[in-house]
Amino acid sequence: MMAEVRPAERVLFSPACERNKGPILAVLQDWLPPQARVLEIGSGSGQHASYFCQQRAGLLWQTSERPEALADLQAQLETVDPASLAPHSQLPAAIPLEVTCSEQWPRTIVDAVFSANTCHILPAAALPALCAGSARVLRPGGLLLLYGPFHDGGVHTAPSNAAFDDHLRSLDPAMGVRDALELQEQARGLGLEPMADVAMPAHNRLLVLERRP
């Protein structure tokens, strides 16, 4: 997840996270089981993690980041007052996780894997690794939850998403808004069944996939 550094405060801050954290939590409330254990991929500024743990009781939210970004994320998490967390919620130390490195995926089993605004940053070739790694750590019936902009077979949901896609590819040809239909088909082949495609504000979507028994 992309985040900016505010020079005066020397902390990570993502305006996108601040705008979308409420709508995302509203969807998570419908899908996560009580006392859910969640692994977040690409936690960025940690804003989602801290907000969700402050709002939902009994949540264990494991953050992660690429090794080179881990220290900044952990420093941000350490600014969160434990007393601000909802009852019995936990926000452990962040772990290093490069999705294409199978050895870095944790060995623990979780109820859900969540990732926001990472699919269009990761190379398309890394998305099967994201799905495969998630399938390994999810319990049967566990959920992979992917938030961000997606298109369907090249048809964008809004002109702004098409412009965003062009912008990403101008920065790096490996980036770009991903095809939800293709991603769901890849996931199905790796043991994850598409369950829902939830429309979100600002022409984003939240894809819900379930690990088959």
Summarize the confidence of residues 27-39 as an average pLDDT.
Answer: 97
The domain total for the chain is 1
CATH of the domain at 8: 3.40.50.150
Q: How many Cβ atoms sit within 10 Å of the Cβ of residue 37? A: 20
User: What are 151's two structure tokens?
Assistant: 């298109």
Residue 24 has a pLDDT of 98
Q: Which residues contact 145 (CB under 8 A, 6 or more apart)?
A: 28, 31, 112, 113, 114, 115, 206, 207, 208, 209
pLDDT tens string 179-197:
999 999 999 999 999 999 9
User: What are 167's two structure tokens?
Assistant: 């912008």
Is residue 12 very low, low, confident or very high in pLDDT (cuts 50, 70, 90)? Answer: confident
The CA distance from 139 to 212, in Å, is 9
Residue 11 has a pLDDT of 63
User: What are 18's two structure tokens?
Assistant: 């601040």
Q: Which residues contact 18 (CB under 8 A, 6 or more apart)?
A: 47
Residue 169 has a pLDDT of 97
Residue 213 has a pLDDT of 87
Is residue 8 very low, low, confident or very high in pLDDT (cuts 50, 70, 90)? Answer: very low
pLDDT at 42 over 80: yes
Summarize the confidence of residues 12-25 as an average pLDDT.
Answer: 91
Is residue 53 very low, low, confident or very high in pLDDT (cuts 50, 70, 90)? Answer: very high
Residue 14 has a pLDDT of 84
Element (H, E) at 158: none
Residue 19 has a pLDDT of 93
CA distances 57 to 5, 19, 37, 84, Å, are 30, 22, 12, 11
The rounded mean pLDDT for the chain is: 94
Is residue 85 very low, low, confident or very high in pLDDT (cuts 50, 70, 90)? Answer: very high
pLDDT tens string 172-182:
999 999 999 99
- Partner residues linked to 61 by β-bridges: 38
pLDDT tens string 67-76:
999 999 999 9
Residue pointed to by tokens 């019936």: 141
Q: Which domain holds residue 24?
A: 4-211
Summarize the confidence of residues 192-211 as an average pLDDT.
Answer: 98
Summarize the confidence of residues 96-121 as an average pLDDT.
Answer: 97
Summarize the confidence of residues 133-147 as an average pLDDT.
Answer: 98
pLDDT at 206 over 50: yes
